[in-house]
Amino acid sequence: MKAYRAALLRFDANRQPLYDTNGLLVVGDDGRIADVGNWQALRERYAQVPTEHLPGRILAPGFVDMHIHYPQTDVIGSPADGLLPWLQNYTFPHESRFADAQHAGEAADFFIEELLRNGVTSALVFSTSHVASVDALFSLAEMRGLRLITGKCLQDRFCPEGVLDDTEQGLRDSETLIQRWHGRGRLGYAITPRFAPTSTDAQLAGAGELARQYPDVWIQSHVAENLAEVRWVAELFPQARSYLSVYDDFGLMRERAVYAHCIHFDDTDRALMRDKRTAAAVCPTSNLFLGSGFFDYDALARQPFLHGLASDVGGGTSFSPFHTMLAAYYAGREGLTKGGLSLPPAELWWQHTAGAAQALGLGGVVGNLAVGCEADFIVLDPAATPLLARRTGQASNLDELLFAMIVLGDDRLVERTVIAQVA
């Protein structure tokens, strides 16, 4: 057992922030949080427990990234006219290299280091269509003790040689990978059709059958990101009511299913997300970069469904959750002209921690500093840069403190990332 004394940020069951300026976080021998609260109230109970005192620091839940592509680390910042040209010109050529296990391993190692450097302790990740890419990422995540979910991309049409998948072999490989990795330590598998246009009906039907056979695995894909893509889906699947309903028609909407973007929805789509308990991974930096549009937070407030924040590297422009939260704030503000809202800083933080964990079906497991949660947390230094120190030092309440860190923060704000040593 070990304890940490510092300021503490966590969330209650109603999404409200709890903040102790002088808190104590107690981690049990099993790697889970044994107790948490005000240091004065807990000090006598844990007087004999080794305690690390971190004055001037804030302990916060490790961030949860709901959608990120590890093979796209090297295409961040590649210029593009939009989503579909960007895929053809940059993404697919880079992903073809992941057939090589050595390259996949090197990229996976760098990717995990970037996650941890930016305070991300849990992630739902896209690999490529190559088995080697999945094995490489899982192997390194297991070695580091991360809670990480990934899967092999299924894409059996409209992709160049080098990343094109075989329909039946891709499904067989996916099942083999499920049996090899899912539930091993803190690892989970995600059935991963890239997006509806790049899978035939046969592949989507096979993915749906895998989802039925393995109800505790995750499902991940993209939906309604870009208007040109939405039109393409309408041409390819004329019988479907909407882009989103394509996935439902093939049995790919349920709990533990996560769809990135969810921008160009109508209220029927939103109701379907709610009724199926399917989650949206909101990717604001990617949507801004590729000019895809803005996630409709105003509509979400009217008709809520599971959601959380995601970096979407490499369409997304940063691994930093602070950059992602700030971009989400911009997206919410954009809707103000249509009756939108200004997202409170604590809400933004919740969407990238406890809310994202809840959307993944991992509420009470990660994403919060609550008794029983796995002890993934970050040590923040609110004086990490001169401007941060000046601004946070003048914060008169929690909202001002959190918002200053969102607006001015980056990887320098994360002094240390601690991964639970779960027994």
pLDDT at 80: 74
Q: What does the pLDDT look like over 275-297, one tens digit per residue?
A: 999 999 999 999 998 889 999 99
Percent of the chain with pLDDT over 90: 90
Q: What does the pLDDT look like over 100-124, one tens digit per residue?
A: 999 999 999 999 999 999 999 999 9
Q: Are strands 153-154 and 147-151 parallel, antiparallel or unpaired?
A: unpaired
Rg (CA), the chain: 21
Residue range 249-256: mean pLDDT, rounded: 98
pTM for the model stands at 0.96
| Alpha-carbon dihedral 210, 211, 214, 218, rounded to 10 degrees | 120
Could you say which DSSP state residue 62 is in? P
Q: Where along the chain do its domains lie?
A: 2-62+374-418, 63-360
For 382, the token pair is 């609110």
What class does CATH assign to 2-62+374-418?
mainly beta
Burial string for 230-245 (b: 16+ CB within 10 Å, else e) reads: eebbeebbeebebbbb
Helices (H), 153-218: 167-181, 201-213
Omega into 145 within 30° of 0, i.e. cis? no
Residues 5, 379, 404, 225, CA torsion sign: negative
Q: What does the pLDDT look like over 55-102, one tens digit per residue?
A: 999 999 999 999 999 999 998 888 877 777 877 788 888 899 999 999
Selected residue with higher pLDDT from 109 and 331: 109
pLDDT at 81: 75
CATH architecture, domain defined by 63-360: Alpha-Beta Barrel (3.20)
Name the band, by pLDDT with cuts 50, 70 and 90, for residue 339: low
Instruction: Say if residue 338's pLDDT is above 70.
Output: no
